[in-house]
Amino acid sequence: MSTPDSPRPPWDGRRIVLGVTGGIAAYKSIHLARRLTRLGAEVDVVLTRAAERFVTPLTFEGVTGRAVLTDLFSVEGAARHILLGREADAVCVAPATADFLARAAQGRADDLLTTTLLVARAPVLLCPAMNDRMWAHPQVQANADHCRAALGYELLGPDTGPLAVGEADGPGRLVEPDVVVDHLGRLLSPAGPLDGVPLLVTSGPTREALDPVRYLGNRSSGRMGFALAEAAWRRGARVTVVSGPTNRPEPTGVEVVRLESAREMAREVEARIGQVRVAIFAAAVADYRPALEPTSNKRKRDGNDWTVEFVQNPDIAATAIPGLADGGVAVGFALETEDLVDHAREKLRRKGFDLVVANPANEEGAGFEAPTNRVTLVTEGEAEALPTLPKEEVAERILDRVEGLLEARAHADSAADS
Ligand code: C5P
């Protein structure tokens, strides 16, 4: 089950100018405008004349609830482009055609969109989409490079994949709108203490194999870990997730290391812990595994019972945390049925966490399979109970705390130096 988008940071309340230029991928920007609006952004869509051949202003007005702008040479257009550009928190052009890239690179002001671009001082994200041969043309490449290197615009894509009239599966496809949403989220996030910080997340369930077809698993969906990873990336962290099996969509901008068993996860974490400053242990690791190594053949039904003996798995967090660099921050989770805060604090001390996210195991709207969670953030000194929130929002609150801990460490270091 997934939650529908609801207004949340960093999109909520922000002003985004969405420029749509005249390519076949323009229809995908309807979804983009819709998602940004549902995330709480005020989306002002500016269509070029060519874009209007593919999509209509009415469609965008329907999904954004705001007037769509097309004409520079109207009383409204002339005044609005100055305001739009000045008030924008981000400008996104998707799709950006070859013609648009050329005009943007030259600093032209021959329509409402290019004019708005000249007025704006906010971050600009251009998402090129065109025929693969056009994209490969040296002049298009030069224009794209100029937009990136000289003008400071971020270019996203194009993706490689089937094109409307492509020669092959060459680069030319518009990046998926959901990924554009994520990148806009990153541009809208102010640089904070996580900027540039290497960060590791463990996520998802583990599987302990009995034979080639059977395993011992658990109900973790991996949603919390992936939400944390993506939110940390938006804040500028360099993120690796080691993840047990999950069918959640991969988080944008993050290196994902896929594995199955607790012992595999332990190896991957051990190999990385010395290079990260923040480690978040969100995985639901199997505490036990079958004592015998998995058989190579499927066990047949033979009329007898099957008794399996279990042995303990390594505690990944407890083993890894001493290897975290000085000044590093470790976050753990605690799924409890009773005495939430006491048990969480005991775990905090025993395993060496700086923060434990405690959540009730037996409550509707919280825990493994729910899209929401009701957590209490437990540190040595305090326990903050949050209301039931979507896991994406819980991730933001956890990272606010992680940033607070990093800042406190930095202050402590500079006080010790002076
Ligand atoms: O002791 P408990 O399993 O409740 O601890 C939960 C915390 O410890 C979580 O952060 C979980 O990711 C981590 N853990 C681990 N390796 C284990 C068991 C738990 O890293 N074998």
Which pLDDT tens digit goes with each residue over 76-95?
666 777 888 899 999 999 99
Question: What's the gap in Å between 202 CA and the centre of ligand 1?
Answer: 10
* Residue 218 confidence (pLDDT): 93
Integer CA distances (angstroms), 185 to 35, 89, 189, 247, 248, in order: 12, 11, 6, 23, 19
**For ligand 1, atom 17, which residue shows the shortest CA distance?**
315
What local confidence, expressed as pLDDT, does residue 2 receive? 47
pLDDT for residue 1: 38
Cα(285) to ligand 1 centroid in Å equals 6
| pLDDT digits 0-9 by tens, 318-353 | 999 999 988 899 999 999 888 889 999 999 999 999
The catalytic residue among 218, 297, 304, 359 is 218
- Residue type at position 385: A
Residue 85's alpha-carbon distances to 63, 117, 124, 410, in angstroms, are 21, 7, 11, 37
- pLDDT digits over 109-148, tens only? 999 999 999 999 999 999 999 999 999 999 999 999 999 9
Q: Ligand 1 centroid to 66 CA: how many Å? A: 48
Q: Please tell me the distance from the alpha carbon of residue 301 to that of residue 214, in angstroms, as a whole number.
A: 13
Give the number of other CB atoms < 10 A from CB of residue 97.
24
Query: For residue 165, what pLDDT is reported?
Result: 63
- C-alpha 315 – ligand 1 centre gap (Å): 6
Quick check: 138 and 96 in contact, CB under 8 A? no
Mutate to test the pocket of ligand 1, among 263, 281, 348 (most ligand atoms within 8 A of CB): 281
User: For residue 318, how far is its CA from the centre of ligand 1 (angstroms)?
Assistant: 8
CA dist., res. 304 & res. 320, Å (int)? 41
Query: pLDDT band at 369, cuts 50/70/90?
Result: confident
Instruction: Say what the pTM is.
Output: 0.92
What's the whole-number mean pLDDT along residues 58-66?
A: 96
Q: Express each pLDDT in 228-240 by its tens digit.
A: 999 999 999 999 9
pLDDT of residue 370: 80
Task: Please tell me which residue, 118 or 190, carries the higher pLDDT value.
Answer: 118
* Atom number of ligand 1 nearest to Cα 351: 8
CA angle, 178 then 182 then 188, to 5°: 140
Residue 119 tokens read as: 């007025």
Residue 30: band (very low, low, confident or very high) from pLDDT cuts 50, 70, 90: very high
SS3 386: coil
Q: Is the pLDDT of residue 166 over 60?
A: no
Judged against a pLDDT cut of 70, whether residue 291 lies above it is answered with: yes
Long-range contacts of 222-225 (CB under 8 A, 24+ apart): 222/246, 222/248, 223/248, 223/371, 223/391, 224/282, 224/333, 224/373, 224/391, 224/394, 224/395, 225/201, 225/280, 225/282, 225/283
Known active-site residue 218? yes
> What pLDDT is recorded for position 69?
84
Q: Is the pLDDT of residue 378 over 80?
A: yes
Closest to 203 (Cα-Cα) out of 184, 221, 180? 221
Please check the confidence at residue 189 and state whether its pLDDT lies above 50.
yes
Query: What distance in Å separates the CA atoms of residue 19 and residue 81, rounded to the nearest whole number?
Result: 12
- Round to whole Å and give the CA distance between 76 and 94: 23
| C-alpha–C-alpha distance, residues 378 and 358, integer Å | 7
Q: Determine the Cα–Cα distance for residues 33 and 23; give it in Å rounded to an integer.
A: 16
- pLDDT confidence band for 4 (50 / 70 / 90): low
Q: What is the pLDDT of residue 194?
A: 97
| Pocket, ligand 1, Cβ cutoff 6 A | 202, 262, 281, 283, 285, 287, 313, 315-317, 332-334, 347
Given a cut of 90, whether residue 295 has pLDDT beyond it is no
The pLDDT value given to residue 43: 97
Which residue out of 201, 259, 315 has the highest number of ligand 1 atoms within 8 Å of its CB and is therefore the one to mutate? Answer: 315
Please state the atom number of ligand 1 nearest to the C-alpha of residue 287.
Answer: 21
Atom of ligand 1 nearest to the CA of 313: 21
pLDDT for the residue numbered 41: 98
Q: Which amino acid is at 413?
A: D
Among 265, 316, 375, say which to mutate for ligand 1: greatest number of ligand atoms within 8 Å of CB.
316
Cα–Cα distance between 409 and 403 in angstroms, integer? 10
Residue 74, pLDDT above cutoff 70: no
CA distance 220 to 223: 8
Q: Where are the beta strands (DSSP E) in 186-263?
A: 198-203, 208-209, 215-216, 238-243, 255-258
What's the chain's average pLDDT? 92
- Tell me how crowded residue 166 is: count the other CB atoms within 10 A of its CB: 17
CA–CA distance from 134 to each of 32, 142, 154, 402 (Å)?
24, 12, 20, 45
Confidence at residue 75, expressed as pLDDT on a 0 to 100 scale:
61
Taking 3-state DSSP, the helix, strand and coil percentages for the chain, each rounded to the nearest 5, stand at: 40, 20, 40
Looking at this protein, which amino acid is placed at residue 75?
V
- Band of pLDDT at residue 414, cut at 50, 70 and 90: confident
